[in-house]
Structure 1
Amino acid sequence: MTHARRLTPWLFLLAPLTLLVTFTYAPIVNMLAYSFTDWDGVSPELHYTGAHNYAEIFTRPDLFEVFLVSAYYLAASAVQIVLALYFATVLSFDIRFRNFFKGVLFFPSLINGVAIGFVFLYFFQDGGTLDSVLALFGVHTDHAWLGTPVSANVSLAGVSVWRYLGLNFVLFLGAIQSVPGELYEAAELDGAGRWQQFRHIIAPGIRPVVTLTVILSVSGSLSVFEVPYIMTGGATGTETFVTQTVKLAFQYNKTGLASAAAVVLLLIVLAVTWLQRRLVPDERVDLV
């Protein structure tokens, strides 16, 4: 009976672990194996090339220059976190229509990324929605929003803010609402205003969630794909490391080199995550 009880949890875990290994770890192992070959993604033959693909990646500056584009998304992530924290704090208090505003903020997170890319492609085109809205306020511009590297990257980063704001908002709102309500009541009795409540109750109470959000935002900024791929295809200086990797694999038929690039990106994301965890370790906060 004791042996059966020990075996029961593993029977429940068998299905999810099988799916995890099949669709996550096995592809990673295959990708790592392909990164040491010259496979073109089509031919049944492939040859072992050792570390040649990795040497090419680290000796070609153009393959790493695309990481400069990530700076736009890192800045957008900071704006996104600040806005999400602000709205979560405001809507955590008892105000009118707060459920309506919660739905409005979270709605973009429910939309498919490809659909968002096409919607904003028409939004930013010449004479599109943005130009029409600006014309209503008497602002007439011939500026091509996706025509120059700076304006295109700023526009794409703005789309990312709109898309992921709701997700961070929900994380912050859940963390804020998990703070014991009696703390707010005690603070109000002591005459603390909204800013004092945020500074001394909310901010310390949601610190682990803020840390998690920063980690997700930084790693996401390094691996942006959907929005720039759909809206510009990497043109006008908007190419990211992931879109470049996809081109190497499917446009230039260099699947081995693309696999090596994917491995490098994975290691960079893991290193950045580890560094963030070391610099900002989780601290258990006891507010009671």
Structure 2
Amino acid sequence: MRFLAGLRAWPYLLAPMVLLVAFTYIPVVNMLLYSFTDWDGLSPTRDYVGLDNYVDLFSRPQLFQVFTVSLFYLAGAAVQIVVALYFATVLSFQTRFRNLFKGILFFPYLINGVAIGFVFLYFFQPGGTLDSVLGAFGVGPQLWLGDPDLVNTSLAGVSVWRFMGLNMVLFIGAIQSIPPELYEAAELDGASRWQQFRYIIAPGIRPIISLSAILAVSGALSVFEIPFIMTGGSNNSETFVIQTIKLAFTFNKVGLASSAAVVLLAIVLLATWLQRLLVPDEKVRLT
């Protein structure tokens, strides 16, 4: 009977499996195949060049210098996790209007990334919203997107604003899975909110914090949407993904761009493996 029940489940899994294969695995395989060719993206023919694209890629160290931009987004992701953890902890206790605050903080994640990019273009423009607010405190106008020393910090700040709500929701879900009697026992023992966070919440949601860190690193390495919309990669804000897109669609070097995408995928997988190696997922037992 269990075998027949398992067979009945397969028709329901067929549609998502077909979509997963069609839009994830087949494109990845094609990308890998393109990386061994000199295809320009338009020609009906493409010649096999072996590892020439990878040799060309690694013989240009300037192509990897853009990874320094990812450090700004990585720092922003760290701030994002800390802020999300703070709000998740506060809103998990009895707080007035906590559902309203949850909705307000999560709402930016629901907005389309292109729309966010255009909104913050007006926010950061000279004499715009940010300059007007800072002007009330005596701070002069700045070229937030035009100054190479400020542009990446500004863009990373937009990413923090957009994705903080997602991390907050993940943390809230994990915090709510902790048995409430642990909080009651801690309160009877006179534990403060900070002590409850340190000895109950933080250990209890450690796997989710590790997951958020993995997503933060992979997101910082592959950031694309916000800098592409807001600056197009100008003023030292170009990321590795933007550079790859330009190789493919501006310089018509789809083969070289595909090899760059394969290298990026390998770097993300390596970073994820190292994180899981250094911070293994251990079953947490709270007593």
TM-score tier after normalising by the smaller chain length: over 0.9
Q: Secondary structure at the match of 2:178?
A: coil
Alignment of 1:198-213 (within 5 A): 198-213=197-212
Provide the C-alpha distance between the structure 2 equivalents of 1:12 and 1:163, rounded to a whole number of angstroms.
34
Partner residue of 2:249?
250
Query: Which amino acid counterpart does residue 274 of structure 1 have in structure 2?
Result: W
Q: Secondary structure at the match of 1:150?
A: coil
- C-alpha distance 2-163 of structure 1, shift in aligned 2 (>3 A): closer
Unaligned runs of 5+ in 1: none
- C-alpha distance 6-162 of structure 1, shift in aligned 2 (>3 A): closer
Deviation, structure 1 residue 140: 2.8
Deviation, structure 1 residue 16: 1.1
Deviation, structure 1 residue 49: 0.6
Query: Which amino acid counterpart does residue 183 of structure 1 have in structure 2?
Result: L
Provide the C-alpha distance between the structure 2 equivalents of 1:281 and 1:8, rounded to a whole number of angstroms.
36
Provide the C-alpha distance between the structure 1 equivalents of 2:266 and 2:138, rounded to a whole number of angstroms.
49
Unaligned runs of 5+ in 2: none
Deviation, structure 1 residue 43: 1.0
Higher alpha-carbon deviation: 1-10 or 41-50: 1-10
Provide the C-alpha distance between the structure 2 equivalents of 1:77 and 1:179, rounded to a whole number of angstroms.
25
Partner residue of 1:69?
69
Q: Secondary structure at the match of 1:149?
A: coil
- C-alpha distance 50-232 of structure 1, shift in aligned 2 (>3 A): same
Provide the C-alpha distance between the structure 2 equivalents of 1:90 and 1:275, rounded to a whole number of angstroms.
32
Deviation, structure 1 residue 6: 4.1
Alignment of 1:126-141 (within 5 A): 126-141=126-141
TM-score norm. by structure 2 comes to 0.97
TM-score norm. by structure 1 comes to 0.97
Partner residue of 1:86?
86
Provide the C-alpha distance between the structure 2 equivalents of 1:198 and 1:273, rounded to a whole number of angstroms.
27
Query: Which amino acid counterpart does residue 214 of structure 1 have in structure 2?
Result: A
The alignment status of 1:123 with 2:123, answered yes or no, reads yes
Partner residue of 1:13?
13
Provide the C-alpha distance between the structure 1 equivalents of 2:230 and 2:54, rounded to a whole number of angstroms.
30
Deviation, structure 1 residue 89: 0.6
Aligned residues: 287
Deviation, structure 1 residue 3: 5.9
Q: What fraction of aligned residue pairs are identical, expressed as a percent?
A: 70
Alignment of 1:63-212 (within 5 A): 63-141=63-141, 143-212=142-211
Provide the C-alpha distance between the structure 2 equivalents of 1:2 and 1:284, rounded to a whole number of angstroms.
29
Deviation, structure 1 residue 226: 0.3
